[in-house]
Amino acid sequence: MEKFKSSSKMYNQRGFGKRLGFGKSPALIIVDFMKAFTQDTYKLGGNYDNEIAHVKKIITTCREKNIPIIYVTTKYHSSLKDGGVFVEKVPSLHELIEGTDGVEVDERIKPEPEDYFIVKKYASSFFGTNFSSLLTYLNIDTVIVSGVTTSGCVRATVVDANQYGYRPIVPQECVGDRKEILHDNNLFDMDMKYGDVLSTEEVVDQLQKL
């Protein structure tokens, strides 16, 4: 976020970008870190090795502190009838058919039996799912949102989290996009309007203090 210092100053002066901070009960949300996104043999795929490495650091801390980890993936019936106009607009989503290898979570961040799972059909982890109900059941007040893509499903999840009354935290090295300009601009906008964009180290430090 270093490159946005001058813009941040202007936004801050106009009443944007106040820190929300952590609440008392966080959860780590891992959005769409599936093979179809993390392997470049897929149309949806790219190189997110660095992002995966940083997410692993937060996963390790969460397991040490018994902080819930929720995996959110996107998958469709082979008919694609459950994808609506989204799969019409983005035909590469046709790769995300349930039961195929592409919708499996990347093995480098393999889930454990105690983790939670949400399946979505659209960008936001909240839309048309039981995600909010699960967060309520777990008494969560803070969502640490990682995954791909920054401008797509991460952003949509962060915006909805804010609207549902959760405190969104975005570890900037734990989210990625296909274009750097999209990644950077959306991180800045989320930081000014919807949640707190922090470094991985800052997030780990906050979790260690719980």
Catalytic site positions: 153
Pairing relationship of beta strands 116-120 and 167-171 according to DSSP bridges: unpaired
Residues contacting 189, CB < 8 A, separation 6+: 155
Q: How far apart are CA 194 and CA 72, in angstroms?
A: 20
Q: Count Cα neighbours of 134 within 13 Å in the Cβ-side half-sphere.
A: 21
Do residues 73 and 37 lie in contact, with contact meaning Cβ atoms separated by under 8 Å? no
Q: Provide the CB-side half-sphere exposure for 119 (13 A, CA).
A: 11
CB neighbourhood size of 194 (10 A): 18
Lookup result for tokens 């692993």: 56
Alpha-helical runs (H) found in 66-199: 84-89, 131-137, 155-163, 180-193
Residues 6+ apart with CB under 8 A from 5: none
